[in-house]
Amino acid sequence: MKNITRHTGMVSDIKRLPSSYAGNPRYSFMVDGYRVVTAVDSMHGYGITNYQDKQVTVTIGTHYNRLTLDSIDLSLIQPLNSVEVLFDNPKYNYITSVSAQSSEKSCTDYFVGEAFNMGQYPKDDYQRCVNIKFINNNEVTV
């Protein structure tokens, strides 16, 4: 295998290919914008369906001019969630990143009803948060 590169992304669009001459399963799938195939008679043919809609890190290379899976591991890195913080005066609204483990309830408890200094030194301008819009960047949509 040549030109091996590492990519992180969500496994999607898994399609069964004809089995190898020895009868082992083969698949093609999408990850990080690349269409990748499992190698002929590779153990990955038996396990790739377990990664559907999961964040993974893969190494892929070219084998006979086809992007071919070399290795695959679940990725422990999750994208951060986002919160749009809303005030009575919309000119103060802003979007901020929060932990991937944050829930809508925990963010509501943290932001809503609290006063934030929206001013610039030396003048303070405290504004009270009236609501939030929670954006879950870890939710898988089908």
Query: What does the alpha-carbon distance between residue 31 and residue 59 come to, in Å, rounded to a whole number?
Result: 11
What's the pTM?
0.54
pLDDT of 78 above 80: no
Instruction: Kindly report, residue by residue over 101-138, the tens digit of the pLDDT.
Output: 889 999 999 999 999 999 999 999 999 999 999 998 77
Cα–Cα distances in Å, from 25 out to 13, 14, 43, 46, 137? Answer: 16, 12, 9, 7, 33
From the options 2.60.40.10, 2.40.50.140, 2.40.10.120, 2.20.25.10, give the CATH code of 2-74. 2.40.50.140
Domain boundaries, the chain: 2-74, 81-135
pLDDT at position 93, please? 95
